[in-house]
Amino acid sequence: MFSIKKIYQPITLAEALEIYTSNPQLKIIAGGTDVLISLHHGKLDDVELLSIKNLTELTGINYLTDGTIEIGTMTTFTEIFRNEIINKYIPILAEASVSMGGPQIRNNATIGGNICNGAVSADSAPTLFVLNADLRIVNNEGVRIVPITEFYAGPGKVKLQSGEILTHIIIKKADYKGMYGKYIKFSNRKAMDIAMLSVATLGKVKNNKFTDLRIALGVSAPTPIRCTKAESFAFNKTIKEELIKQISEKTLLNANPRHSWRGSKVYREHLIQVLTERALKEIITMSGGKWHE
């Protein structure tokens, strides 16, 4: 049995916020695929839970008139990877979603839980980083919007205060229109395994030059990161095999992978370069560019 003292199961966001404000010690549970594992292993103990599972306001994906895509945080990875809007406009997020866990996990794991859990290996993170996703966070007093790139504080830590609930992920049209993306998850097993390393790239190519390029890495630093140095280096340079090599090398200027039983630091550095190279070649091909003479 899980070490749970109490559980609240509100059915509206307003009700949830009220309960949370008067009980700041509560631990939010969404799909529970991280929380219940922590309870099982005793990393959490004697908790009082606030279940947001019944908040239908937080599920679903909306395409707004200005092309903004809003994803409710309670949307599961299965729902995301089968969703038409996502597959049409941001297929890279479908690709990332289906790479996580296995079917039963994806059926219950939410994208909000994936972000708020703060894992460096979170499969949604690199993709949301390259999409410049914004997070809508609410509490009893109001709303704040935070770019996901500023949300992570360290391994397993995100910048959320007690009383706050993440409600939506917002992706703006300018961040996906005309862009091609590729997510590569590298893990020991093809399913039911977390990433040893992950790379997301998103770019726009014009006259065989990158007019926009974004690269994000998972498990390469204490938080998911953007490779800003490699990105600005790539800007407006003519695409060649040599350039792809240089961009991939420059990703290491932002990365600082650690050594763990899953993979050594040196191996991870090698993977960062190799996988970035592969992902870049994919998006160049998709955007009709070429790297060989």
Ligand X SMILES: Cc1cc2nc3c(=O)[nH]c(=O)nc-3n(C[C@H](O)[C@H](O)[C@H](O)COP(=O)(O)OP(=O)(O)OC[C@H]3O[C@@H](n4cnc5c(N)ncnc54)[C@H](O)[C@@H]3O)c2cc1C
Chain positions contacting ligand X, by CB under 6 A: 27-35, 37, 52, 73, 100-101, 105, 109-110, 112-114, 116-117, 121-123, 160, 165-166, 192, 194
CB of 256 to ligand X, least distance (A): 20
CB of 143 to ligand X, least distance (A): 13
CB of 102 to other proteins, least distance (A): 3
State how far the Cα of 85 lies from the Cα of 91, in Å rounded to an integer.
9
275 in Cβ contact with 252 (< 8 Å): no
Residue 110 contact among ligand X, other proteins, none, beta carbon within 5 to 8 Å by kind: ligand X
Residue 1 contact among other proteins, ligand X, none, beta carbon within 5 to 8 Å by kind: other proteins
Radius of gyration of the chain (CA): 19
Q: Residue 11 carries which side chain, given as an amino acid letter?
A: I
Residue 104 contact among other proteins, ligand X, none, beta carbon within 5 to 8 Å by kind: other proteins
Residue least distant from ligand X (Cβ): 113
Strand partners, 144: 137
Closest by CA position to 171, among listed 49, 278, 88, 271: 88
State how far the Cα of 92 lies from the Cα of 100, in Å rounded to an integer.
13
CB of 93 to ligand X, least distance (A): 13
* Token pair listed for 50: 């606030």
Backbone angles phi, psi at 260, to 5 degrees: -145, 175
- Is 218 exposed, middle or buried (CB count within 10 Å of its CB: 0-12, 13-18, 19+)? buried
State how far the Cα of 101 lies from the Cα of 192, in Å rounded to an integer.
4
Residues contributing to the site for other proteins (CB under 8 A): 1-7, 9, 29, 32-33, 36-37, 40-41, 51, 53, 78, 98, 101-105, 107-108, 190-192
Nearest to ligand X of 166, 271 (CB atom): 166
Residue 50 contact among other proteins, ligand X, none, beta carbon within 5 to 8 Å by kind: none
Residue 103 contact among other proteins, ligand X, none, beta carbon within 5 to 8 Å by kind: other proteins
